[in-house]
Amino acid sequence: ELKVEQNPLFLSMQEGKNYTIYCNYSTTSDRLYWYRQDPGKSLESLFVLLSNGAVKQEGRLMASLDTKARLSTLHITAAVHDLSATYFCAVDAYGNKLVFGAGTILRVKS
Amino acid sequence: NAGVTQTPKFQVLKTGQSMTLQCAQDMNHNSMYWYRQDPGMGLRLIYYSASEGTTDKGEVPNGYNVSRLNKREFSLRLESAAPSQTSVYFCASSAYMGDSSYNEQFFGPGTRLTVL
């Protein structure tokens, strides 16, 4: 059974600081997705990572995938308040299905 | 394009009542999904449909039924609601068509269901 673990589950950080969210998964996959969810809202697709070594960047967020280590990271550079949200990784290991991590709640304090 | 739409947005039921959650997408996607979201547990797949006319169980199907009415619409039915089904329900769709494609899913706004 595929398991997806995110850590930390809660992250409180100061504006301007850098931090990384980790997503580990238990079986082979080369397809991983990151989503953002604002409180009371739906999920918004952030990044699609489709191969080992894939790196995608959008603004202050950068995601990478290491399929050999079964690890994806979401790096936050110089955090701003607008990045406060819950971030989910999801792993595609069974073709038509995704398995989601529990989510990381990010709070950026000014 | 509206993307993925869901109705209703909120619902309160009494234990034992039934209801159907509606979902529609206008992106011509083949695959559609129903998830539930509970605090601290991420999203868990209830049922999915890889194409019109097919449905399959996900991780937590007990107490639910689904219908893929046509390519656009995928409904979720609770026959006899229980307090354990209090949750936020999300519908999603993707263009996934098989091993050569990837499964980026697009989500609806959600239905917040409370069962008393």
SS (H, E, C) B52-83: CCCCEECCCCCCEEEEECCCCEEEEEECCCCH
Residue A38 has pLDDT above 90, yes or no: yes
Task: Look at A45 and B106 and tell me if their CB atoms are within 8 Å.
Answer: yes
- For residue A96, pLDDT over 80 is answered with no
Q: Which residues pair with B107 in a beta bridge?
A: B92
Mean pLDDT of chain A: 94
**Residue B52 to residue A92: CA distance in whole angstroms:** 22
> In this predicted structure, what is the pLDDT of residue A90?
96
CB pair distance less than 8 Å for B58 and A97:
yes
Q: How far is B99 from chain A (nearest CA, A)?
A: 6
Using an 8 Å Cβ cutoff, are A104 and A85 in contact? no
Above 80 in pLDDT, residue A48? yes
Distance separating alpha carbons of residues A101 and A59, to the nearest angstrom? 23
pLDDT of residue B99: 65
B42, B44, B102 member nearest A103 (Cβ): B42
Q: Which residue of A has its CA nearest to B4?
A: A42
Question: What integer is the mean pLDDT of A73-99?
Answer: 92
Confidence of residue A66 (pLDDT cuts 50, 70, 90): very high
- In terms of C-beta density within 10 A (0-12 exposed, 13-18 middle, 19 or more buried), how is residue B61 classed? middle
CB B4 within 8 A of CB B108: yes
- How far is B39 from A98, CA to CA, in rounded Å? 18
CB contacts of A42 in chain B (<8 Å) are 90, 107-110
Looking at residue B64, its amino acid is Y
Instruction: Quote the pLDDT of residue B1.
Output: 75
Asked which of A8-12, A17-21, A25-29 is least confident by mean pLDDT, the reply is: A25-29
Q: What percent of chain A has pLDDT over 70?
A: 99
Using DSSP bridges, classify how beta strands B56-57 and B4-7 pair: parallel, antiparallel or unpaired: unpaired
Nearest CA in chain B to A92: B103
Nearest CA in chain B to A50: B102
pLDDT at B25: 97
pLDDT for res B100: 63
For B44-56, what is each residue's pLDDT tens digit?
999 999 999 899 9
> Per-residue pLDDT averaged across A41-53, rounded?
93
Rounded to the nearest angstrom, the minimum Cα separation between A106 and chain B is 14
* Average pLDDT per consecutive 10 residues, chain B (116 residues; last block may be shorter): 93 98 96 93 93 92 96 97 97 82 90 97
